[in-house]
Structure 1
Amino acid sequence: MKFWKKEKDCCSWDGVTCNTKTGKVVALDLSNSWLQGPLCSNSSLFKLYGLRRINLSFNNFSFGTIPSEFGQLSRLTHLNLSYSMFSGHIPSEISVLTHLVSLSLSSFLNYDASSLLHLGRVDFANLIQNMTNLRHLRLHQVDIFSSVPESLANLSFLTTLSLGGCNLHGKFPDNVFQLHKLEGIYVPCNYHLTGFLPEFQPSNSLRSSELPSSLGNLTRLEVLSLYNNSFSGQIPSSLGNLTKLKALYLSINSFSGQIPTSLEKLTELNILSLEDNNLDGVIPSLEWKQIAWIFTFPPLFTSISYFLISQNNLTGIIQPSIRKWIGLKVLDMSKNHFGGTIPKWLGSSLEILNLQGNNFNGSIPHEIFTYGSMHDALRVVDLSHNQFQGRVPQSIINCSKLQILNLGHNQLSDTFPFWLQSLPDLQVLVLRSNKLFGPIWHPIKYFGFANLGTIDLSFNHFDGSLPSEYFRNWGYMSKALDGNKSDMIYFGHNEKMSNYEVRYAYSMSVMNKGSEMKLRKALKLFMSIDLSNNRFDGEIPSSIGKLQSLIMLNLSSNNFTGIIPSSLGNLSELESLDLSRNKLSGRIPQQLANLTFLAYLNLSHNTLEGPVPQGTQLDTFSYSSLEGNPRLCSSQLPKKCENTDTQIPFLRKDEEKESENGFTWKVVAMGYGCGFVIGAVIGHVTLSRRSSWFWTSFVGSTFVNKRLGKELVARNSH
């Protein structure tokens, strides 16, 4: 370890705890220590026989297996190997650790099932059969692929059970819910798991559970997470009896009817998530004397921080009572039927404001970006798909931490907001489908977007030309795309509270490859420029070839003239290119054949001419990608090229020179075939890299080196 120094007593090392009387090592906490590489069975770790606690969570053991030698550490009471990139079968030897109080083997969701930890039903039953002292069992995302063994109900001391995403099926044992000490059950994302929740008695200790008919008896409940199920009917009014409730997740169900007013009793509620249901009616507004329910709080105090009610059928206006929610961080009322204007007082402490997909109208008040502390914290503003009019408020420039601004699909009428370039963290800018007009370049006002990764100005009335150096200062798009941890920005809010995690993820739709797609975590990695359906003219700037991380480029339905810049061939990550319905002329540059990731191409309805480069990926695109260019010829177009044009495949200059020096076309063809194979392999590797965008990258020092490990063993043997 980096901070372990040989000259010091190992009991003073970070993460090492010794028995003060015997001097033996009894606990090792190396969580979040950037450990990397497989954990070998001959590691000195397994000679620390006095160990009672081991925490190796949140490291990178390179998808190695969990060594069976953990079974030698018979005194262990706590074993935590969660989220540390282990894979393979969980060794049965762990079942001999009869003193275990806490076992945590949770893993990350992985698109490659072969790198998951896994257990079978028999193995699961055997694993826990001797662990009669177990209080915490966490196997989140371990592939169990079986029913839940009835023997789980024998763990009479169990307080926490986490089996989310374990591929469980069959009926969940009813008697598990009756374990008297059980405080938390977490079994989401097991889509073939069935069963019924029994009647609960007031003496039951559950603090987090599924929805029972007698839910109101669980008066000690603090977290209720029922998201992503098939519950229907009205939200039971008995929830009002859960006065200790701090978080309520009912999203992604089929609840209907109105939100019950009994929630007024939940004075400690911090999170309310009712997203993606069929709720209707208005948000109630109660009298101040009926204090502290979720929609109306007393003037001097409020507990609500996360208010998520998107994708319902709710109506009405933004209630004045929200003004008193002084601790509100996330307000998501998107995809409902709310209307009226936005109050000027909204959002003194907001970090996320999402009002997308409603019927709000009027102008966007500049005061909401000026007063209070909102401009110091605001990260996401989405007011898209409403009926806002007027100008883009220049007060947005006060929001120095703003990352996402989405004002698309409104009726805004303004010139291009050049001042947005001053926002240092702005990464996503969407002004799509408004009535914005004028140029987007000015010799004095324009200096580039340093951190922008997505810009969508389509379907407006912007005009004018773009100088050849227009994209020169777009620094973030000019960097090579990689999957490092620094690029895995999670748009939204994610924090740890006392005993549960708070998470909000912003998502948005973008146009890609001619269709709409929804992005969530990969927003910062999906580099895109959409200037389509405007009135731009002049040549396409050659500096666009500097944006080497660009994945989608759409300049269609404008008045661009001149040739297609050959610099587009430098956009090695490009997957979608649409230059259709312009006035482009000349030949298709041979450099476009370098775009090996290109999956969508539309060059139709221009005045292009000459042959489409043959023997390249451009051969694979259909007639519709090239139609409307009467002077363009290829095998997939009505106009066929002359033999002199079609018989010569695309060659680099050096290849052309070799051909002139005597190499035959047969050799060239063989070379092209080999190149195709090599390219396919490279493409597969690169695509595999892309599939890891949603992964956190772990790098760091290797596991405890032998010398330091020996010192720990020596200390333990004294």
Structure 2
Amino acid sequence: MLSMSMGSLDLSYNFLAGFGKQVRLRSEYLYYLNLENNFLQWPLHQSFCDMINLIFLILAQNNFSGSIPGCLGNSSSPIFILDLRMNNFHGEIPRFLPIGLQYIGSYGNQLRGQVPRSLVNCTSLVALDLGNNIINDTFPIWLEKLPYLQVLILKSNLFHGPIGDLVSEFPFPKLRIFDLSFNRFTGTLPSNLFKSFRGMMDVDEEKTGMARESTSNDMDYLYHVSLVIKGNEFDMRITSIMTSVDLSSNRFEGDIPISIGSLSSLVLLNLSHNNFHCHIPAEIAKLQELEALDLSWNRLIGEIPGPLSSLTFLKVLNLSYNHLVGKQFNTFPNNSYCGNPDLCRFPLSKECGNKNVPNESPLEHDDDSFFMSGFTRKAVVIGYGCGMTFGLLMGGPCSYCKKQNGM
């Protein structure tokens, strides 16, 4: 489709290839450029930087290569939507970025280096998606100061080390999507990590800032992110009702902070494939909007808190491969509990009080392969209306959720 008007050029979802080798765009009036979902594969040239009035730059799902031009990081640039998802960009993220940026999407490239600290100057930033790159850095704790940040996706990179202590009085006050999965984070979670995530405590549109004035194209891309879960990709336009915390497939240890119970609007919680060694916090029962809970492949001990049965919206529960004991809920299938030989009650084969338990593989969390192994998983899609779908994790049958060595 070709659409040009009022400085707007939309060539998205076509079969364009090699376009930029012959054509250079005049930039005096262009404020909206959308080349999404084509077959363009040339490096970005200077003409992109010459578009002095460009506000929306949408290049997602092409084969653009080379490094991201440093000139795009001109702090005086008016760009506030920069969508580079699913390309072949490499090198480092420009050291300096436009201070008016509201959305940065670089998911699915080959970017290296560290997260530029200049982002702390982008005080209007709402969504930052750096997932599925090769970024090697510690947790950018300084992002806690951004007052409007609602989406932070750092998944599938080489982030490492502990999260560290939060120092701001109100850190991450608007955060609603927090995804650190498939990295190498270590250590314990700060006890106050979730206390200031007000965006997950109240999803009223006016309070989260989702109802702010915007142009017609703003909302289409400002909250558009890509999530990939074990090879299943979900392109999603995020709405104000979507809230999630995914810290899976890292090396976190110790306790699950009881402050998790303050996130009253949380829909998805995934802490699987870590080394948490504690009881399941009863405070999770306060998450009355929770629809999916995955705590599998940890070292959780004790009984399953009875109040969890009061979570009326909970559709997916995975507690498999821990050290849980006692009774489980009969409202979820057997594969929600496999790998816990001391659990009993239907649908499990062990009756309570019967010490004869089926043979199951012992938990082995000491080798590095555990942290990135991952059992066979399938995607579960939950519809929320308005054309938005939500991808979440659920383990397969017990015969498939045993640890696979060498993966």
- Aligned match of 1:569: 285
- The separation in 1 between residues aligned to 2:231 and 2:352, in whole angstroms, is 28
Distance 2:212 2:84 in 1: 16
Offset of 1:634 from its aligned partner? Answer: 1.9
Task: Choose from 315, 324, 330 the match for 2:50.
Answer: 324
Find the partner of 1:539 among 244, 250, 255. 255
Q: Could you tell me which of 276, 282, 294 is aligned with 2:13?
A: 276
Match of 1:361, SS state, is strand
SS across alignment from 2:277: strand
- Residue 37 (structure 2) pairs with residue 303 (structure 1): no
Partner of 2:295: 579
Aligned amino acid, residue 489 of structure 1? M
Q: What secondary structure does 2:249 align onto?
A: coil
Structure 1 segments of 4+ aligned residues over 6 angstroms from their partners:
511-515
Match of 2:71 among 317, 324, 345: 345
Alignment-derived partner of residue 62 in structure 2: 336
AA in 1 matched with 2:94: P
Alpha-carbon distance, 1:310 to partner? 0.9
Matched, 1:553 2:269: yes
In the alignment, does 2:325 pair up with 1:609? yes
Distance 1:445 1:412 in 2: 25
- Which residues in structure 2 correspond to 1:377-388 (within 5 Å)? 377-388=100-111
Cα distance between partner residues in 2 of 1:388 and 1:405: 14
Q: Distance in 1 between matches of 2:197 and 2:316?
A: 24
1:112-146: CA deviation from partner (whole Å, max 9, x where unpaired): xxxxxxxxxxxxxxxxxxxxxxxxxxxxxxxxxxx
SS of alignment partner, residue 392 of structure 1: coil
What are the residue-to-residue correspondences of 1:148-547 with 2, within 5 Å?
Answer: 248-249=2-3, 270-286=7-23, 295-297=24-26, 302-346=28-72, 348-367=77-96, 369=97, 374-375=98-99, 377-442=100-165, 444=167, 448-479=171-202, 481-482=203-204, 484=205, 489=210, 494-495=215-216, 504-506=220-222, 507-510=224-227, 517-522=234-239, 524-547=240-263
Q: Displacement, 1:324? A: 1.4
Q: Which residue of 2 is the match for residue 235 of structure 1?
A: none
3-state DSSP class of the match of 2:253?
Answer: strand
Q: 1:210 aligns to what?
A: none
Post-superposition Cα deviations, 1:621-677, rounded to whole Å, max 9, x if no partner, equal: 21111101111112111222249xxxxxxxxxxxxxxxxxxxxxxxxxxxxxxxxxx
Q: Tell me the residue number matched to 1:633.
A: 344
- For 1:630, the aligned partner's letter is P
How many Å separate the matches in 2 of 1:545 and 1:591? Answer: 12
Distance 1:490 1:353 in 2: 21
2:139 and 2:277 map into 1 onto residues whose CA distance is: 22
8 A Cα contact 2:124 2:148, kept in partner = yes
Gaps of 5+ in 2: 355-381, 389-407
Cα shift at 1:530: 0.4
Deviation at 1:280, TM superposition (A): 1.6
User: Is the CA contact 2:145–2:168 (under 8 Å) kept in the aligned structure 1?
Assistant: no
Deviations 1:174-213 (A, max 9, x none): xxxxxxxxxxxxxxxxxxxxxxxxxxxxxxxxxxxxxxxx
Does the C-alpha gap of structure 1 residues 357 and 502 become closer, same or farther in structure 2, counting only changes over 3 Å? closer
Question: Offset at 1:279?
Answer: 1.8
Q: For 1:548 and 1:339, how far apart are their aligned partners in 2?
A: 43
> Equivalents in 2 of 1:623, 1:515: separation in Å?
24
Flag the 1:285–1:692 CA change in 2: closer, same or farther, 3 A: closer
**Distance of aligned partners of 1:585 and 1:446 in 2 relative to their CA distance in 1, 3 Å threshold:** farther
Shift of residue 449, structure 1, vs aligned partner: 1.3
Identity, in percent, stands at 41
Matched residues in 2 for 1:587 and 1:476: separation? 31
Query: Following TM superposition, by how much is the alpha carbon of 1:512 offset from its aligned partner in structure 2, in angstroms?
Result: 8.7
Q: 1:620 aligns with which of 305, 310, 331?
A: 331
Change (3 A) 1:464 1:598: same
Structure 1 length-normalised TM: 0.47
Q: Unpaired runs of 5+ in structure 1?
A: 1-226, 228-247, 250-265, 287-294, 496-500, 614-618, 644-686, 695-718
Q: Is the 8 A contact 1:490 1:505 kept in 2?
A: no
Query: What is the rounded CA distance, in whole Å, between the counterparts of 2:218 and 2:277 in structure 1?
Result: 51
Task: Output the CA distance in 2 between the equivalents of 1:582 and 1:548.
Answer: 24
**Distance change >3 Å, CA 452–CA 487, structure 1 → 2:** closer
Judging by fraction of residues, say which structure has more helix. 1
AA aligned opposite 1:317:
P
In the TM superposition, residue 406 of structure 1 has moved relative to its aligned partner by 0.5
Deviations 1:438-459 (A, max 9, x none): 1112265796311101010000
Is the 1:410–1:433 Cα contact (8 Å) retained in structure 2? yes
TM-score by length of 2: 0.81
Q: Per the alignment, do residues 465 and 521 of structure 1 end up closer, same or farther by CA in structure 2, a change over 3 Å counting?
A: closer
Q: Deviations over 1:538-575 (max 9, x none)?
A: 01111100110100000000000110000000000001
Give the Cα separation in 2 of the matches to 1:391 and 1:360. Answer: 15
Q: Match of 2:85, as an amino acid?
A: Q
Q: Distance in 1 between matches of 2:70 and 2:221?
A: 26
Counterparts of 1:599 and 1:550, CA distance in 2: 14
Distance in 2 between residues matched to 1:383 and 1:312, nearest whole Å: 17
Judge conservation of contact 1:448–1:471 (CA < 8 Å) in 2: no
CA contact 2:206–2:212 (8 Å) conserved in 1: no
Displacement of 1:384 in angstroms is: 1.2
Which entry has the higher C-alpha Rg, 1 or 2? 1
SS at match of 1:272: strand
